[in-house]
Amino acid sequence: MKRNYKFLIRYDGSRYQGWEHQPGTDLTIQGKIENVLTKMVYGQDYTGAPVDVTGAGRTDGGVHARGMCANCFLDTDLSEQEIKDYCNRYLPDDIGIDDVRIASDRFHARYNARGKVYRYSCYFGEDKPVFERKYVKVLERHPDIGLMEEAAAMLTGTHDFRAFCSNSSKMKKSTVRKIESIRITENGPFIRFYYDGTGFLRNQVRIMTGTLLEVGFGTRTLESVQRALETGDRLDAGYTAEPQGLCLMKVYYD
């Protein structure tokens, strides 16, 4: 009998084309997990339709996750621990399953999600970040944290974030989203942005980060942030920050 399983997943997205299937490549997180689960359920020689894994979101190429959630229906007699062990044995070393639980049949990792927390990490220091280079954006100078916090306060709350979306022209649904909080922390050479929201548009976190950094560097005014919210014009918001600094930290549910 098929049962619905909830997975908690972490991955280093450096060499992948993102979470979701992409035409012409097998380098996606979703694809790797589906391949392993399909062989677990149907055997190594199976060539039919793969197990369908649904993720809570669609991280872009080069983006990481410490708390991605997914679900899928599996027809297996293996226990949750045995499923987890099997996945971690056969998945690449840069993808890990932290937890597997039987969920209700109605549970859907994407539609039931009530919010997500993303972290964007920057580095500003005298030493070259050799070991952290795949997980941070290196800054050439130190931004003004106070100014960035003022701009972050303007982005907090419920707004139409059309200007902070990379594909708004193709969006058929509302671009209104609610940002519960934006925290900016500084610990040694690391400056980190934490975004807690009920949902995010494509590239929204990276565009908000690029916007905040421009404010911090003095190349963008606080007034321009408000103008971007009012006009909804992508050209009025900042650039899209590089993917390697972004990490999905948590997906939360009721």
142 shares its domain with 233:
yes
150 shares its domain with 55:
no
Kindly report, residue by residue over 184-213, the tens digit of the pLDDT.
Answer: 999 999 999 999 999 999 999 999 999 999
CATH number at residue 157: 3.30.70.660
| Domain end position, chosen among 78, 103, 128 | 103
119 shares its domain with 99:
no
What residues contact 156, with CB distance under 8 A and at least 6 apart? Answer: 179, 180, 181, 182
159 shares its domain with 50:
no
Q: pLDDT grade, residue 115 (50/70/90)?
A: very high
193 shares its domain with 124:
yes
Crossing angle between the packed helical segments 80-90 and 29-42, to the nearest 10 degrees: 120
On whether residue 109 sits in a domain, the answer given is no
Bridge partners, residue 160, by sequence: 176
Output 195 or 46, whichever has higher pLDDT: 195
Give how many domains the chain has, as a whole number: 2
66 shares its domain with 137:
no
Within 10 Å of residue 110's Cβ, how many Cβ atoms? 14
**pLDDT, mean of residues 68-85:** 98
pLDDT, residue 125, reads 92
pLDDT, residue 22, reads 85
On whether residue 110 sits in a domain, the answer given is no
pLDDT, residue 112, reads 97
Gap between the Cα atoms of 107 and 21, Å rounded: 22
Kindly report, residue by residue over 1-39, the tens digit of the pLDDT.
Answer: 899 999 999 999 999 999 998 888 889 999 999 999 999
CA atoms within 13 A on the CB side of 195: 28
202 shares its domain with 238:
yes
Work out the angle at residue 228's Cα, subtended by the Cα atoms of residues 251 and 195, and round it to the nearest 5 degrees: 20
**pLDDT, mean of residues 211-223:** 98
131 shares its domain with 242:
yes
Which tokens go with 67?
Answer: 């708390």
26 shares its domain with 128:
no
For residue 55, what are the domain limits? 3-103
139 shares its domain with 79:
no
Provide the annotated active-site residues.
60
92 shares its domain with 120:
no
Amino acid at residue number 161: F
CATH number at residue 74: 3.30.70.580
Measure Cα distances from 246 to 21, 29, 122, 229 in Å.
Answer: 20, 16, 9, 22
Kindly report, residue by residue over 121-179, the tens digit of the pLDDT.
Answer: 999 999 999 999 999 999 999 999 999 999 999 999 999 999 999 986 666 789 999 99
167 shares its domain with 89:
no
Pairing of strands 64-74, 246-252: parallel
| Domain end position, chosen among 103, 131, 162 | 103
Pairing of strands 190-197, 54-55: unpaired
| Domain end position, chosen among 48, 69, 103 | 103
